[in-house]
Amino acid sequence: MSQSSPPTDDTGMPSTSEQPTPAQWALSFVIFWLAAAVAVYRFDQEGHLDQTAALFIGLPTVLAIGLTLTPKAKSATGMAVKGLTIGLVLSAILLGEGVICILMAAPLFYGIALVIGVIVDAARARARKTNQGKLYSILLLPLALMSLEGVTPITSFPAAGTATVTQTVAATPAGVEAALAAAPLFDRPPPAFLGLGFPRPLAADGSGLAVGDRRTIWFSGPNGTRAALVLEVVQSEPGHVRFQARTDQTAIARWLGWRDADITWQSTGARRTRVTWTLHYVRRLSPAWYFGPFEQYAATLSAGYLIGTAATPR
């Protein structure tokens, strides 16, 4: 019984079935660019750039552009989105990012991936192979410039923010003052947005409204730990008190820095008092156009929550 000869290639040499397939090359490319993205993340983290646009725009740009160039990808957009999804999942598991960071940054990451993918797909559809270098240069320039926000003072926007909420509570001004003088009780559930993954206030120590009196507010931390935010009364007069943040050991300090809380109250009728709670803070995440509204919304919800928990008699 005769044996068939092994297949040969164009040179007449025996061919091998161990050559990488297109699918294997594509997988290798994905792994390479995910590793590159991790390297960018580590660089941002070690360079204290993990709160700037270098992370939130630069990282998805590197990841999306690399994935759109994956060999044999039928759709650059699909490959970028799939790869980015893998990257976000890995970041939650391997890079230690909190759930709230992933939720807040995911729309920005996907938006950049979609923009890059759609442009690359359009270029491929029109077979503009000779203009691809120019295309990517035009694409990369604005993204590169946007990635610099927060990296240097020159490329940063003002970070100071203010959130003010006014509510009328069923209490006399004296009752509101007594509630503010006591340690707040955080026995009410926070608004839904603040419950997505932000550290939650658990308890508070300290009392009084005299200048120098302090409050230590304990927030939930990782693995059952607690972290403290310390506030001190720096101004006090009838119908007005201002607390200034002294130390903040909570995870919130990475995203937002509290400056002070300014509270005023005045009677609006029988057992009706209008309370205005103003929070001044510093935004610590860039880009401002994206994270600014998130932090403004979170601070506004916090001010309303504090009126209900710290300025309303029980």
The structural domain count of the chain equals: 2
pTM for the full predicted model: 0.69
C-alpha distances (whole Å) from 20 to each of 24, 28, 66, 70 are 6, 10, 20, 14
Domain range enclosing 65: 22-146
Of 264, 303, 243, 269, nearest to 176 (Cα)? 264
From CA 52, how far away is CA 198, in angstroms rounded? 19
**Cα 169 to chain centroid, rounded:** 33
DSSP state of 148: T
Contacts of 73 (CB under 8 A, 6+ apart): 26, 67, 79
Is residue 5 domain-resident?
no
Query: Are residues 134 and 261 both part of a single domain?
Result: no
Buried b (16+ CB within 10 A) or exposed e, 63-94: bbbbbbbbeebeebbebbbbbbebbbeebeee
Residue after which a domain boundary falls, among 115, 146, 177: 146
Tell me which DSSP letter residue 129 carries.
G
Whether residue 9 is contained in a domain is answered as no
Tell me if 273 sits within 8 A of 257, measured CB to CB.
Answer: no
Residue 15 domain-assigned?
Answer: no
Give Cα 289 to chain centroid, integer Å: 13
Question: Domain of 229: which CATH number?
Answer: 3.30.530.20
- Taking the C-alpha atoms of residue 70 and residue 165, their distance in angstroms, rounded to an integer, is 50
Residue 17: inside a domain = no
- pLDDT per residue rounded down to tens, the chain (314 residues): 445 555 554 445 444 445 655 555 555 666 666 666 666 666 655 655 555 666 666 666 666 666 655 555 566 666 667 666 666 655 554 444 455 666 677 788 788 777 777 777 776 666 555 555 555 556 667 777 777 777 778 878 889 999 999 999 999 999 999 999 999 989 888 888 887 778 889 999 999 999 999 999 999 887 778 999 999 999 999 999 999 999 999 988 888 999 999 999 999 988 999 999 999 999 988 888 888 999 999 999 999 999 999 999 98
Query: Helix/strand/coil (H, E, C) string of 63-86?
Result: HHHHHHCCCCCCCHHHHHHHHHHH
In a domain, 138, yes or no: yes
Report the candidate in 223, 283, 277, 290 with the shortest Cα–Cα distance to residue 255.
283
Q: Which of 146, 179, 198 is the last residue of a domain?
A: 146
Asked if residues 243 and 180 have their Cβ atoms less than 8 Å apart, the reply is no
